[in-house]
Amino acid sequence: MIPRYSFSMIGRNLDLIFKVLIYVFILSLLCAAILVSIISPLLKTLDTSFDFSERVLGMLSDLIGNGRPGALRQFFNELSSTLESISSEIAVAVVLIIIVVFAAKFFLSLTAMPLGEVVYGRMSQNFSVMFHNVLVSSLGKSLLYALIKAFVTIVADGIIIVVSYYLAKLLYIGLGVYGIALAAFVMFALLASRIAILGQWVPQIVCERKSVAAAFRDSFQYSAKYFTRVMPVAFLILVIDFSAVMLTTVVTFGILPAIIAPVSLVWITNLNLVAYFYFNKKKFYVDEVTVINQIENEIDSGDE
């Protein structure tokens, strides 16, 4: 029931998706511009010292045209040597990219509290507060929440990516491409687990009116209860997001992935709040007329 109700509530929150879409679009443009300014000089240096395009064409010619399987290994050996020669530039670029990613996570996390407040109002009282009003009124808590959330997630995601990378290398030896696919599955499962574990943090702030620190501390016992229901949905959302980026970015000029991002944010917000209402056995509105009570019976609010 939790996955079904969280998904069905997306239609009720289309206005939130539109507002977050604008926010994400502006944030993405800024981050993209900064990342290009960081990566572009590095690529120029690499192209000058390694002649990347020429080497790739030569490697493909030897590999496919001349049937030299060792061409690929030779290419990567030469590339590794070149990368070592510009390791200081790469290190600076990596640090700057981490800072940009941290900033992006921070500013994206600023939407979590306002989204939670608006969705909670609609679910608990069938009343909609203005998104921008909540954004301003909860700015203090939002800033602290976003700062802690960005730090926690960037550390957790970094560990997950490193573990997945070495797992892929290990599995590739025995399973080939299937090993990489299995490692990707594990990575998505770990990322979904991270989402589920932190899922009750915002509900504890907006519903229970706890401080950011107290809500973080108390959220884990609530997240544990519905972990097995929330985690698979979070996994599905991640797979949809990744598939959209990989399959539609070029053909839709990035439009579809840009739309899916705010949909995912609202969907996860719905998911966590529905889990909160279930955990506390509270009635909530799925839409303007349908209420779900403690024992999961649907009641028409007009008959109450």
Q: Running DSSP on this structure, what letter comes out for residue 261?
A: H
The Cβ-side half-sphere exposure at 49, using a 13 Å CA radius, reads 17
Please state the φ and ψ torsions of residue 290, each to the nearest 5 degrees: -110, 125
Nearest CA-CA partner of 284 in 119, 114, 129: 119
Using left for φ > 0, alpha for ψ between -120 and 50, and beta otherwise, residue 297 falls in beta
Q: Is the pLDDT of residue 302 over 60?
A: no
The pTM of the full predicted model, rounded to 2 decimals, is 0.79
Range scoring the smallest mean pLDDT among 27-31, 236-240, 250-254: 250-254
Judge contact between 218 and 204, C-beta under 8 A.
yes
pLDDT at residue 294, as a whole number: 59
Boundaries of every domain in the chain: 2-303
Q: What is the 3-state secondary structure (H, E, C) of 94-162?
A: HHHHHHHHHHHHHHHHCCHHHHHHHHHHHHHHCCCCCHHHHHHHCHHHHHHHHHHHHHHHHHHHHHHHH
**What are 17-61's pLDDT values in tens digits?**
888 888 888 888 888 889 888 888 877 777 676 666 666 666 666
Model confidence at 68, in pLDDT bands (50, 70, 90)?
low
Q: Tell me the two tokens of residue 60.
A: 């493909």
What pLDDT shows up at residue 69? 61
Q: Average of pLDDT values for 157-175? A: 88
Top mean pLDDT of 50-59, 78-87, 266-275 is at: 266-275
Amino acid 54: pLDDT: 67
Read off the pLDDT band of 250 (50, 70, 90): low
Q: Which has more confidence, 93 or 198?
A: 198
